[in-house]
């Protein structure tokens, strides 16, 4: 056999069953939902599996394909990067990275936020934020919110409470947690959602103050707690959190991986809540499906930590390829008026979900902002107990019918669909998805009734 004939080219891929076997035999399983089939391509709101079947995507991939899968602007940006550069030595700042920093700092975040560092993943951006906060304050204690997800790397896994925490050894020291603001299922019985959230915040801060060794560094929060069940705090809670951080000389970190760049109908959740953090991290909604993330802070904080020797030196910091894509995403959001569409299309989607809620007792709550919505399934609305079995059955049936859904079904987090389609999705596609969801939910309820 000639050397060039040993391996198939991309045009001569192995048969489908061989590739499925290869996935089983050679890939490490990494948790979460996994499908028996493989996937071949994607366009707009549609993904296509290895049988050629089209599946409507209500989660924008991993909530990353904000402007749709393989948007022409992203394809053009990747092609342009191919004529310019994919990668440089990390000390060589590409022109396109400077341009992206200008656009983000000038047009997308509020003063005093201004200075960005661009990396590959949301976990990296949160590691940067935590390192900055610790160096700036000289402390190491971090207060996080229950239900949060900030990553699975060393520092971020310690402050993530919606992910698996068992079996990985000792977490980073100095991490404290307080209950998340759950407006649908308040922690303190007899209180309204807002009153309970504020009481939990006050109690959590008192617990932190009692346990603190006097070295506070940061409070980190997802402004909308997505992995915890798309929990939207009241504005009073976010303002109180800002005041609490300032009173303790702690950096307030907003993890806006899922909320920045238009998904919720605002430029950022900081804009929605009227609260400016000391450090903001962004990722999914900026990369549009490619690995791009950033940590953004003020000039004063950046100058302080730089003088103290701050480093976050990786092989792919300030890479030109994802920066070119980030610019294309921003320009597309502006050109196609996707912030406004997130509001209007999100309202259309939400109205359809509320219509289903009115017809199915099992839908206990519909919540969220813009095109980041949560639908919670319950056994009954009086008890509000989560219906995990129904969630699993309906999610599986949706996929069989051609709709990809993401459900959080951890016992302590309820049974919640996180619905976040591309901002470019059409009303017709939403109608199709809602019809599938209605059919799948009805069939799953009938199945559960027969099993009794």
Do 201 and 240 meet the contact criterion of CB atoms below 8 Å apart?
yes
Cα distance between residue 346 and residue 25, in whole Å: 41
Q: Which of 108, 115, 127, 149 is catalytic?
A: 149
Structure tokens at 277: 């953090």
Q: Which of 141, 222, 319, 376 is catalytic?
A: 222
- Classify burial at 384, counting beta carbons within 10 Å of its beta carbon; exposed 0-12, middle 13-18, buried 19 or more: middle
- Confirm whether 396 is a catalytic residue: no
Alpha-carbon Rg for the chain in angstroms = 22
Helix (H) or strand (E) holding 393: helix 388-401
Q: DSSP of 50-88, one letter per residue?
A: TT--EEEESSHHHHT-TT-BT-HHHHHHHHHHHHH-S--
Calpha distance 28→409 (Å, rounded):
23
Active-site residue, from 258, 263, 278, 397: 258
Give the C-alpha distances (Å, rounded to integers) separating 160 from 129, 137, 175, 295: 14, 22, 10, 18
Q: What 3-state DSSP class applies to 235?
A: helix
Q: Which of 57, 127, 180, 255 is catalytic?
A: 255
Q: Closest Cα to residue 376, out of 268, 238, 232?
A: 232
- Torsions phi, psi for 386 (to 5 deg): -70, 145
First to last CA, the chain: 62
Alpha carbon distances (Å) from 331 to 29, 59, 71, 118, 372: 36, 22, 12, 18, 21
**Known catalytic membership, residue 222:** yes
Q: Which one is catalytic: 242, 263, 267, 284? A: 284
**Length of the chain, please?**
452
- Alpha carbon distance 151, 128 (integer Å): 12
Report the C-alpha gap between 238 and 269 in whole angstroms. Answer: 10
In the set 108, 185, 418, 429, the catalytic residue is 418
Q: How far is CA 20 from CA 15, 30, 401, in A?
A: 9, 16, 21
Told to judge if 284 belongs to the known catalytic residues of this protein, a careful annotator would answer yes
Per-residue burial over 286-317, b if 16 or more Cβ lie within 10 Å, else e, is bbbbbbbbbbbbbeebbebbeeeebeeeeebb
Question: 403 forms bridges with which residues in the sheet?
Answer: 56
Residues recognised as catalytic: 149, 222, 255, 258, 284, 418
């Amino acid at each position: 056999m000639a050397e060039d004939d040993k391996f198939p080219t991309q045009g001569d891929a192995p048969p489908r069953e061989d590739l499925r076997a290869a996935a089983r035999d050679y890939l490490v399983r990494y948790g979460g939902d996994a499908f028996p089939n493989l996937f071949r391509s994607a366009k707009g709101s549609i993904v296509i599996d290895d049988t050629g079947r089209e599946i409507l995507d209500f989660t924008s991939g991993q909530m990353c394909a904000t402007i749709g899968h393989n948007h022409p602007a992203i394809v053009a940006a990747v092609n342009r990067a191919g004529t310019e550069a994919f990668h440089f030595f990390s000390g060589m700042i590409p022109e396109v990275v400077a341009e992206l920093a200008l656009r983000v700092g000038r047009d997308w975040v509020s003063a005093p936020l201004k200075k960005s560092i661009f990396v590959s993943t949301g976990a990296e951006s949160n590691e940067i934020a935590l390192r900055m906060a610790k160096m700036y304050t000289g402390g190491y204690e971090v207060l996080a919110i229950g239900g949060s997800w900030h990553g699975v790397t060393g520092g971020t896994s310690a402050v993530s409470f919606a992910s698996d925490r068992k079996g990985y050894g000792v977490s980073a020291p100095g991490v404290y947690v307080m209950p998340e603001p759950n407006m649908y299922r308040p922690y303190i019985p007899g209180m309204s959602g807002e009153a309970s959230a504020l009481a939990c915040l006050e109690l959590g801060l008192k617990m932190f103050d009692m346990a603190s060794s006097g070295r506070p560094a940061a409070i980190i929060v997802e402004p909308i707690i997505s992995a915890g069940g798309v929990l939207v705090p009241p504005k009073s809670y976010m303002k109180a959190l800002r005041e609490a951080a300032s009173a303790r000389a702690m950096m307030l970190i907003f993890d806006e991986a899922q909320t920045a760049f238009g998904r919720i109908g605002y430029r950022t959740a900081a804009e929605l809540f009227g609260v400016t953090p000391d450090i903001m991290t962004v990722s999914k909604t900026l990369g549009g499906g490619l690995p791009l993330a950033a940590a953004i802070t003020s000039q004063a904080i950046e100058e302080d930590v730089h003088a103290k020797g701050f480093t976050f030196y990786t092989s792919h910091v300030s890479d030109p390829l994802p920066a070119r894509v980030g610019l294309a995403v921003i320009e597309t959001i502006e050109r196609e008026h996707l912030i406004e569409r997130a509001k209007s299309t999100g309202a259309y989607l939400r109205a359809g979900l509320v219509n289903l809620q009115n017809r199915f007792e099992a839908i206990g709550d519909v919540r969220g902002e813009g095109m980041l919505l949560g639908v919670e399934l319950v056994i009954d609305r009086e008890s509000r107990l989560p219906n995990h079995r129904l969630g699993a059955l309906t999610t599986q049936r949706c996929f069989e019918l051609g709709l990809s859904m993401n459900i959080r079904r951890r016992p302590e987090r309820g049974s919640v669909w996180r619905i976040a389609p591309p901002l470019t999705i059409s009303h017709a596609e939403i109608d199709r998805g809602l019809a599938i969801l209605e059919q799948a939910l009805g069939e799953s309820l009938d199945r559960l009734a027969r099993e009794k």
